[in-house]
Amino acid sequence: MNAMSHNQAGNAYNFGFLDEYAKKEVRRAILKAIAIPGYQVPYASREMPMGRGFGTGGLQLTLSLIGPNEVVKVIDQGSDDSVNAVNLRRFIEMTCPGVSTTTATAECTLIQSRHRIPELPLTARQILVLQVPYPDPLVVVEPSEDKRKTMHGEADYSRLLVKLYEDIVKFGEITISHRYPTRINGHYVIDPSPIPRWDVPKLNDSAALILFGAGREKKIYAVPPHTKAEPLAFSDVPFRVEDFRDEQGRRRACARCGCVDSFLDEFVTDSGSKTYQCSDSDWCDMQLSKARQTQGEPA
C-alpha cells in the first residue's frame, strides 16, 4: 500500500507527520524493546514542530503506531483538557486524518500519557505510550553512560538500592514519589516516567502493551503485556503506594465524585482548606455518571 494514500488532498504532511522511513525505524525500535523487556533501545529521534520536553518522544511512538481506524486519547497530569494534552491531540487530529480522538479510556485503542496511567484497567486491545523525560534510572548514581550500560547488562542495581537504604535511614521510609525504579521481567530496572507510585503496580502483568518514549535522550523501552514489573524494595520494607487516609484514618474521597479508591490531587480552596479530587478526569466523570444513575433509580 502506498503510504501517501492516506493523504487527503491539500494536506502537506505525510499521514502521521513523520515520513514512512522514520516511522519504520521507530517501529523497529519498538519491536526490539518488546523483545527485551525494560531494555532502553536507542533510536534516531526526529525533530518535531514543538520543543523537546513537550512529549515529542511519546508523540513519535504514537504517530508511528497510529493506523487509520485508531481511537486516540491524550492525557497530561491525568487530564484530557490541560493545554499540553489539547495541543498534542490537535496535532494528531491534524496530521492523521481519519483518526478519531476521545477522552474516554474505555473507548480508545491508543493512549499517549504523561504523569498518569488511567484508573480504569487497560485491555489487551489497547496500547499505552508514556512520555519520559529521563529514561535511565541509574543516572542518579552513575554519570557515565558506558558504565551504566554495563551495570544494566549485569543487572547491577546495588547502588540504586543503597539510595533506598539511605532514604529509610534518613526518613524511616522510601520517599521516592515519582519515577519509582522498577525491575522488569526480573532483569532491567526502568524509570517508569513521572507516574506516581500509585500507578506502578499497574505496570505489573498489564493486559495492555506499555511503551516508553524519551525524545531528548532518544530511547524507547517497553513493558510487554503480562510481564512482571517489581518496584525495587527490601524484603522487610515493602513498596507502598500513596496513603490517602485523613487524620482519623479514613480514606479520603474525591470531593466531586465521591470515589475512595482513586489517586487524588490536593487543592487548596479559596477559604484555605484542603480538598481532594480524582486526578484521572475521565475516571471522575465515569464515577459521577454512575452515581447519578444509581441515585436516579428507586431504592
Partner 1 sequence: MNKILEVRGLSKIYGPGCPQCLESTGPEADTNLCPHCGSVVAIHDVSFDLFEGEILGVMGESGSGKSTVVKTLYFDQAPSSGEAIFFDNDRQYDLFSLNAAQQRWLRNHRFGMVYQNPNLGLNFNISAGGNIAERLLMSDLMDYGAIRERAKALLARTEVLLSRVDDLPKHFSGGMQQRVQIAKALATQPPLLFLDEVTTGLDLSVQARILDLILEIQQELKTAMVVVTHDLGVIRLLTGRAIVMKYGRVIETGLTDQILEDPQHAYTQRLVASAL
- Grid cell digits, residue 192: 517508569
Q: Which stretch binds partner 1 (CB under 8 A): 12-20, 25-33, 149-157, 273-281?
A: 149-157
- 265 in contact with partner 1 (CB under 8 A): no
Q: How far apart are alpha carbons 81 and 277 in whole angstroms?
A: 15
Helix (H, G, I), strand (E, B) or coil at 183: strand
Least Cβ distance, residue 82 to Zn ion (angstroms):
16
Per the CB < 8 A criterion, the answer to whether 116 and 77 are in contact is yes
Nearest Cα neighbor of 111 from 91, 133, 126 is 126
Binder of residue 254, out of Zn ion, partner 1, none (CB less than 5 to 8 A by kind): Zn ion
Least Cβ distance, residue 293 to Zn ion (angstroms):
15
Least Cβ distance, residue 236 to partner 1 (angstroms):
5
- Decide if 96 is catalytic: no
> CB pairs under 8 A, 24+ apart, for 86-93?
87/50, 87/54, 88/54, 88/55, 88/59, 88/112, 91/17, 91/49, 91/50, 91/59, 92/59, 92/62, 92/63, 92/66
11, 100, 123, 158: residue in contact with partner 1 (rule CB under 8 A): 158
Nearer to partner 1 by C-beta: 173 or 261? Answer: 173
Nearer to partner 1 by C-beta: 24 or 147? Answer: 147
Least Cβ distance, residue 157 to partner 1 (angstroms):
8
- Decide if 284 is catalytic: yes
The residue from 38, 55, 213, 215 that is catalytic is 38
Residues that bind Zn ion (CB under 5 A): 254, 256-257, 259, 278, 284
Nearest Cα neighbor of 15 from 77, 68, 56 is 68
> Measured between alpha carbons, how far is residue 115 from residues 26, 163, 225, 247, 270 in Å?
22, 23, 20, 27, 26
- Grid cell digits, residue 107: 473507548
Nearer to partner 1 by C-beta: 86 or 141? Answer: 141
- 236 in contact with partner 1 (CB under 8 A): yes
- Decide if 259 is catalytic: no
Per the CB < 8 A criterion, the answer to whether 66 and 110 are in contact is yes
Least Cβ distance, residue 178 to Zn ion (angstroms):
21
Q: Which stretch binds partner 1 (CB under 8 A): 61-69, 234-242, 248-256, 291-299?
A: 234-242
- 161 in contact with partner 1 (CB under 8 A): yes
Nearest Cα neighbor of 107 from 122, 87, 93, 88 is 122
47, 154, 270, 297: residue in contact with partner 1 (rule CB under 8 A): 154
- Give the interface with partner 1 as residue ranges (CB under 8 A): 150, 153-154, 156, 158-159, 161-162, 165-166, 168-170, 234-237
